[in-house]
Amino acid sequence: MSPQKYCDVYKTFAGAMRAVDPSIQLIAVGNLFPSIAGLENVGKDINRAVLQGIGVGMDYLSVH
């Protein structure tokens, strides 16, 4: 799934969950590794895309 698609799906689910419980704390998934299978800066780019794409819609970013 592309980072943009992940952000779109996250925001859809986050909206539905916050409609039921406005106090819910939500965690988005990032990437700890700077490269995957030889692709340089993939992790950094994913984290940036998630942070920019979701922004204040998340409470935490989990990198692993």
Look at residue 62 and give its three-state secondary structure: strand
Q: Which of 37, 30, 26 is nearest to 64 (CA)?
A: 30
- Check: CB of residue 63 under 8 Å from CB of residue 28: no
- In whole angstroms, what is the distance from residue 46 CA to residue 17 CA? 24
pLDDT tens digits for 5-36? 999 999 999 999 999 999 999 999 988 666 55
pLDDT tens digits for 53-63? 999 999 999 98
- Check: CB of residue 26 under 8 Å from CB of residue 59: yes
Domain boundaries, the chain: 3-63
